[in-house]
Amino acid sequence: MGDPLDALTIIFTEFYYWVTVVFMFLIHVGFCMYEVGASRRKNMMHTLMKNTMVIPLVTVSFFYFGWWIYFGWTNGPFITGGVNEAAWATPWSELMGTHMGGKPHQEGLTADDTMGWARINGVFWAAFLLFSWTAASIVSGAVIERIRSGAFWLLAVLLGSFTWIIDAAWGWSPDGWMVQLLGYHDAYASGVIHAIAGGFALGVLIVLGPRIGKFRADGTPRNIVPHNPWLVTIGLFLIYTGFWGFYVACNIPIFNIGEAAGMEGAFYSTTNIYLAPTSTSAITLNFLMSLSGGLMMGYIVSKGDAFWTYSSGLAGIIAASSGNDLYHPIQAMVIAAVGVVIIYKMHGWVERKFKIDDAVGAVAVHGYAGFFGVVIAGFVLWGYPASMNPDYAHINPLGQFLGAIIMFFVLGFMPGWLGALALNKLGVLRIPEHIELAGLDLAEYHDRYLDEADVYEAETIEAKSRGLID
pTM of the entire predicted model: 0.95
122: left (phi over 0), alpha (psi -120 to 50) or beta: alpha
**How confident is the model at residue 260, as a pLDDT?**
64
Give 238's pLDDT tier (boundaries 50, 70, 90).
Answer: very high
Give 444's pLDDT tier (boundaries 50, 70, 90).
Answer: low
| Cβ contact 287:317 at 8 Å | yes
Residue 345 pLDDT more than 90?
yes
Q: Helix, strand, coil shares of the chain as percentages rounded to 5?
A: 65, 5, 30
Residue 424 pLDDT more than 60?
yes
| Cβ contact 20:124 at 8 Å | no
Concatenating the DSSP letter of every residue in 393-459 gives: PBP-HHHHHHHHHIIIIIIIIHHHHHHHHHHHHTT-SB--HHHHHH-HHHHHSHHHHHHHHHHHHHH
pLDDT digits (tens, 9 = 90+) for 303-329: 999 999 999 999 999 999 999 999 999
At residue 253, φ and ψ (nearest 5 deg) are: -65, -35
Q: What is the mean pLDDT of residues 24-43?
A: 96
Going from N- to C-terminal start, the domains of the chain cover 4-435, 439-470
What are residue 331's DSSP bridge partners?
A: none
CATH of 4-435, one of 3.40.50.10800, 1.10.760.10, 3.30.930.10, 1.10.3430.10: 1.10.3430.10
pLDDT digits (tens, 9 = 90+) for 250-295: 999 988 777 666 677 777 888 999 999 899 999 999 999 999 999 9
Residue 448 pLDDT more than 90?
no
Residue 233 pLDDT more than 90?
yes
Residue 445 pLDDT more than 80?
no
- What are the counts of helices (DSSP H) followed by strands (DSSP E) for the chain? 21, 2
Residue 113 pLDDT more than 90?
no
Residue 3 pLDDT more than 80?
no
Concatenating the DSSP letter of every residue in 163-179 gives: IHHHHHHHHSSTT-HHH
pLDDT digits (tens, 9 = 90+) for 65-111: 999 999 999 999 999 999 999 999 999 999 998 888 888 988 889 98
pLDDT digits (tens, 9 = 90+) for 150-180: 999 999 999 999 999 999 999 999 999 999 9
Residue 446 pLDDT more than 80?
no
Outline where 185-228 has alpha helix (H).
196-208
